[in-house]
Structure formats: structure tokens, C-alpha cells
Amino acid sequence: MVLTYPGARRPDTSWTVDSDGLSIAAYQWGEDDAPVLFAAHGGFDFAGTLDGLAARLADGGWRVISWDQRGHGDSEHAALYSWDADLRDAVRVLESVTSAPAPVVGHSKGGGLMMALGDVRPDRVSALINLDGLPSKRTVPDMPDRQRRRMMADEMSARLDYRRKSHDNVRRPGTIEELAQRRAKMNPRLDMDWLRYLVTVGAAESEDGWRWKLDPSMRFGGFGPYRPEWSLARLPGLRVPFMAVLGLEVEEMGWGTEPGDVEDWFPPNAEFHALSDVGHFVHIEKPDHIAGLILEFLQ
């Protein structure tokens, strides 16, 4: 059962991509002969959170391709998770659709992921759009390299210990309303009808209720070894057209980034939109506005 929500549309087609033995769920909105646009969701989300934006971009003439990142949505769970593995999965999805460079859009973690892709594989990216996925340089610690390496080792040990303890965790079941209410605690600005819709897309129903499909061994900040701020240091060297959108209302799942934190780091001729009275999920709160910005930029 999938509920409906105004302006949101489920993908027209879906398939799986093999990424070095792991099954990744991929999706398409739009016509097969339309120009390709890739879209990456944020952490703890899934491609279905793009149902509203992707539908609008497809109606604007694009063939929108997205995927559930490993451990998210209908993609297979992995023994371990890392930023590099997510990046390899993204390349596999791109390769399954086209060998030509294409524009990419990413929200939150997906925005950082696409920035990394544009840095390491500029031959695959023709333009890059980041939706509230810009970390603040203020959070980078000023410390010697040897201390930073020691912190990373400690962090990885803690991450592995947590993974060992949580490998057989099972998510708590609930009704559609209960899961929507849980999500609302992290996303208080989003419409409850949208959150109920998300439950029927990103959760699975069993005899005792609904459970989010997200791997229960995942936790916030769990995409290491990686520091989100590293992508900011590489941002000035991006060699593709770049647009960034920042929501200025602070939310639990957001970065808390302010325009002054990032404006000096943009590559030449970057386009930047800082939106007041909009939170972290800019593409869900203002889907028509964000779709319009993207379509105009890609022209």
C-alpha cells in the first residue's frame, strides 16, 4: 500500500545495479529519450524522498535517475559502510545508464557525495547542484596531523565496536501514524501527510506493523572514515558549473551552515541561493521553487 501526496509521483521504472556484489535499487522518472539527470538523496533517507522534486524535473523534460544508497530503502544492507563505498555505488549507477557526463543534484549527504564525485570523476559530471549539503568550515578542528590521525583511529574503533553490537538489531514496529510521528520529531517542519506518505514508500509492512527499511545498524554521522568539511576544502577546485541552495532555518538533521561560512569557498561563477524560512529539506518544503531553480540553471 502506498498513500498519495499532491505533486509526488512514484518512479516510472526501477531496476537493480550490481555494485561489486551488493544490490543497489535504482529508479527513473521521465522518458527514456530525455536528457539524463542524476539525483542523490540524503543520509537516513531514500530515493522516495525525491518523489516530489523528481516528478517536477521529469515534467520539465529530464530523465531523472536516483537510487537508494547502500543500507537505505530497497538497496541491500552491507557488512560495513563507508563514504568511498557510497561513491563507488554512485559511479555504478551512472554507468548503468550512460557513459556520457551528466548533471547531478544531491541533498544533504547526497550533496556532499556529488561534490566528491565532481572532484574525483569530473569526466562523469557536467553540472553540479547541492541542496543544503554544504558543511561549515567552522567545525574543522585546528590540530596537528598526528592528533587528527589518532582521533580517526579512535573513531573507527568505536564505529566497529558499535557495528559488532548492532548487527542483529531490529527496528521497532508501529503503525503508519506512529512511524510518521517518530519522523516528525526530526523533521518538525514537514507536512504530516507527507511523512505518512514516506512511511508507505520507505518502510515495509509485516504482521506486527511497519518498520523503516533503513539498516538498524546505521547511526548519525556513520559514513566514515570521512569528514564532511573535507569536501568544502575541495570545493574551489570544482571544474563544472555549480549551484548551491541553503535553507537558513536550523533543523536537527541539517548542517547549521550560514552563507558566510561557505561563500568564499565557491568555485568561480557559482550560483548561490540562501532561502529564509526554509529548513534542511528545501526540496520538500519548496518543491516548485527548487525545481524551478534547477531547471533554469540547467538551461
What pLDDT does 143 receive? 47
Instruction: Give 54-99 pLDDT, tens digit per residue.
Output: 999 999 999 999 999 999 999 999 988 888 999 999 999 999 999 9
What pLDDT does 146 receive? 52
Measured CA to CA, the distance from residue 13 to residue 103 in angstroms comes to 20
What 3-state DSSP class applies to 37? strand
| Mean pLDDT, all residues of the chain | 90
Q: Which three cell numbers stand for residue 23?
A: 544490490
What number is the average pLDDT over the span 115-122? 92
What pLDDT does 226 receive? 62
Instruction: Give 211-267 pLDDT, tens digit per residue.
Output: 999 999 887 655 555 666 777 888 998 999 999 999 999 998 888 899 999 999 999
Identify the band that residue 165 occupies on the pLDDT scale cut at 50, 70 and 90.
Answer: low
Domains, the chain, in order of start with CATH, read 13-138+214-298 (3.40.50.1820)
Measured CA to CA, the distance from residue 292 to residue 53 in angstroms comes to 10
Q: Which of 123-127, 134-138, 207-211 has the lowest mean pLDDT?
A: 134-138
What pLDDT does 253 receive? 86
Q: Is the pLDDT of residue 141 over 90?
A: no
Beta strand 242-247 with 125-131 is parallel
DSSP structure class, residue 42 = P
Distance of CA 230 to the CA centre of its chain: 17
Global pTM reads: 0.90
Instruction: Give 31-62 pLDDT, tens digit per residue.
Output: 999 999 999 999 999 999 999 999 999 999 99
First vs last C-alpha separation in the chain? 37
Measured CA to CA, the distance from residue 264 to residue 170 in angstroms comes to 44
What pLDDT does 150 receive? 57
Measured CA to CA, the distance from residue 257 to residue 242 in angstroms comes to 18
What pLDDT does 31 receive? 98
Q: Which three cell numbers stand for residue 142?
A: 585546528
Measured CA to CA, the distance from residue 271 to residue 146 in angstroms comes to 37
**Alpha helix stretches (DSSP H) within the chain:** 51-59, 83-97, 109-120, 145-166, 176-186, 192-202, 228-234, 259-262, 282-285, 287-298
Measured CA to CA, the distance from residue 30 to residue 57 in angstroms comes to 8
Query: Please, are residues 185 and 195 in contact by the beta-carbon 8 Å criterion?
Result: no
Residue whose C-alpha is closest to residue 217's, from 170, 154, 156, 253:
170
What pLDDT does 245 receive? 98
What pLDDT does 223 receive? 56
